[in-house]
Structure 1
Amino acid sequence: MEAVNVPLADTPVVTFWEGEIVDAKNYTFFTGKWEASPEDDIRHWSKFPSFTPLLSQIETDGGKSVDLSNYAYIFMVLHHLTFHRWKEQYFANVGVDCGLTIAGFYYVCFSCSDGSISGYYYDPNSSPFQKLELKCTNEKDSGFTFSSYELQ
């Protein structure tokens, strides 16, 4: 990911990401790390309308019996970007004094139908619910294309 117009950086800041796809087997909707409580998890996942049908089952057994294999959305957690968590791991082209932080992570939802990605940033020391939105262009017949990556 590239951040532009960063006040303390002369060039755009490039970050490297890693993530976890919520599959109810390897990774659940409960983060269990990075200072996120189960309540924080539910508050953030509940921002996604596509999560609402899953909420009662998540509250019952932590989502362990939810079958997400054919669900129209993928949830992820990104360390700093399925439902998925995304986490930025490091700055690729600047030092830590660039004025940005990678202390938090993102709760992310990928729509299989239109290729859009939305996410909410979590860092207990930052403004809550900072939103990330990525829209794609469908330039290829085999998948969704974004400016720097493809999902196929």
Structure 2
Amino acid sequence: MPVRVVESSAPSQVSGASSGNTLPQACSLLTVGQTFSGTQNVSSLQNEKDEAWRVNVCIQGCDLDHGYLCGTMEALNVPMADTPVVTFWEGEIVDGKNYTFFTGKWEATPEDDIRHWTKFPSFSPLLSRVEADGGKTLDLSSYQYIFMRWKEQYFVNVGEDCGLTIAGFYYVCFSCSDGSISGFYYDPKSSPFQKLELKATNAGRSGFSFSTYEFQ
């Protein structure tokens, strides 16, 4: 979902070497076609009133072997938009093999990474190892949480002059137990720590689905 610019249980080897198989476990709720619904709080520091946009997410592709995920994000009640705003995003799954907890791009420093990851309670058991090497020696294959970064690539149904930005990216934590997703948006030019909260839905699996879009 584009963001308005404003001015202004532990893994099996937290303390041991990696076994070489660090890919996250397969999860039935992290598959192509799965949908999620929730909100993103976009309140700025200058605005004391909470403002949240309703958000729908649909997974379009998932390749755990290569740490890849992609999908669409639809923001509904965006004040400056006449219609829901849809973006296409690509995700990096933190697995110690393809991607670590250190972003290394998108203007994010290791300090930024730690500052955002530590906002997830499930990250606490991993902190010391991540500070040491980004988590390269962690075995996350049996962990009940999957950490990711989502980077929006382009607007699907509106132009870039819509008044919104997709310059930043999301730090994301996915719960394998209930399919819930929490995330924090990072962009130095936008309100900090905009929180994304989503829950898995049955849309598309019981007669309901989001709109379909043709990607070019």
Which residue of structure 1 aligns with residue 154 of structure 2? 90
**Which TM-score applies when normalising by structure 1?**
0.83
Once the two structures are TM-superposed, the CA of residue 74 in structure 1 deviates from its matched residue by: 0.3
Give the gaps of 5 or more residues in structure 2.
Answer: 1-72, 211-216
Which residue of structure 2 aligns with residue 132 of structure 1? 196
Q: Which has the larger radius of gyration?
A: 2
RMSD of the alignment, in Å? Answer: 2.0
Which residue of structure 1 aligns with residue 135 of structure 2? 63
CA distance in 1, matches of 2:189, 2:163: 15
Is the strand fraction higher in 1 or 2? Answer: 1
Is the helix fraction higher in 1 or 2? Answer: 1
Whether the aligned pair in 1 keeps the contact of 2:185 and 2:194 (CA below 8 Å) is yes
- Residues 3-152 of structure 1: pairs in structure 2 closer than 5 A: 3-79=75-151, 88-137=152-201
1:5-58 residue CA offsets vs partner (Å, 9 max, x unmatched): 333332111110100000011100000000000000000000000000000111
1:109-136 residue CA offsets vs partner (Å, 9 max, x unmatched): 0000110000000001111100000012
The percent of aligned pairs where both chains have the same amino acid is: 82
Give the gaps of 5 or more residues in structure 1.
Answer: 80-87
1:87-107 residue CA offsets vs partner (Å, 9 max, x unmatched): x11000110111211000000
CA distance in 2, matches of 1:78, 1:20: 7
1:147/1:35 CA distance change after superposition, 3 Å: farther
CA distance in 2, matches of 1:128, 1:118: 15
